[in-house]
């Protein structure tokens, strides 16, 4: 198992991992274009040459980063890959000098185990709402806002 920055050749595999979750309405869909243009925000977890999961950490505001597009292929779940991807994103946030990382999630229990705490979504940077308007549940968001404070 290896966690690394993705290569452009990994994008189709990343999309293939994301698409089933997006079809079920439990994460936002990502076009190939969106994945290619945000490639530097991502980390992937691989078994040999196979991409098994991905997660992104875009910088959203001065001190804020967002953990987003966390997806692990269903046949690779249960191996701790999601946790390892989030932990790598948190380490990168610290390296970038960010003080706060947030996420919007349907699985708050997972993020709570990693030290995230629930937060009122209205307190999050306005930039996230530009993504929210593309969600099938907007404006009746069912996700839980969670926040993690970086302790350098």
pLDDT one-digit tens code per residue, 16-40: 999 999 999 888 889 999 999 999 9
**Confidence grade of residue 53 (pLDDT, cut at 50, 70, 90):** very high
For 2-149, CATH gives 3.40.630.30
Range 127-141 average pLDDT: 59
Concatenating the DSSP letter of every residue in the chain gives: -EEEPPPGGGHHHHHHHHHHHHHTTSS----HHHHHHTGGGEEEEEETTEEEEEEE--EEETTEEE-EEEEE-GGGTTSSHHHHHHHHHHHHHHHTT--EEEEEES-HHHHHHTT-EE--GGGS-GGGHHHHTTSTTTTS--PEEEEEE---
Considering only 76-85, 121-130, 138-147, which range has the smallest mean pLDDT? 121-130
Measuring CA to CA, which residue among 88, 90, 117 is closest to residue 101?
Answer: 90
The answer to whether the pTM exceeds 0.75 is yes
Residue 120 has pLDDT above 90, yes or no: no
What integer pLDDT is reported at residue 21 of this predicted model?
93
The pLDDT mean for the chain works out to 89
What integer pLDDT is reported at residue 106 of this predicted model?
86
């Amino acid at each position: 198992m290896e966690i690394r920055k993705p290569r452009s050749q990994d994008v189709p595999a990343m999309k293939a991992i994301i698409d089933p979750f997006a079809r079920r309405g439990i994460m936002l869909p990502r076009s190939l274009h969106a994945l290619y243009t945000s490639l530097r925000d991502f980390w992937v977890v691989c078994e040999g040459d196979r991409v098994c999961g991905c997660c992104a950490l875009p910088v959203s505001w001065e001190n804020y980063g967002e953990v987003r597009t966390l997806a692990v292929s269903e046949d690779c779940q249960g191996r701790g890959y999601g946790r390892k991807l989030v932990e790598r994103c948190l380490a990168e946030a610290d390296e970038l000098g960010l003080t706060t990382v947030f996420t919007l999630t349907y699985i708050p229990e997972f993020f709570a185990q990693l030290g995230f705490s629930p937060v009122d979504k209205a307190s999050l940077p306005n930039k996230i709402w530009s993504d929210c308007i593309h969600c099938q549940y907007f404006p009746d968001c069912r996700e839980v806002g969670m926040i993690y404070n970086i302790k350098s």
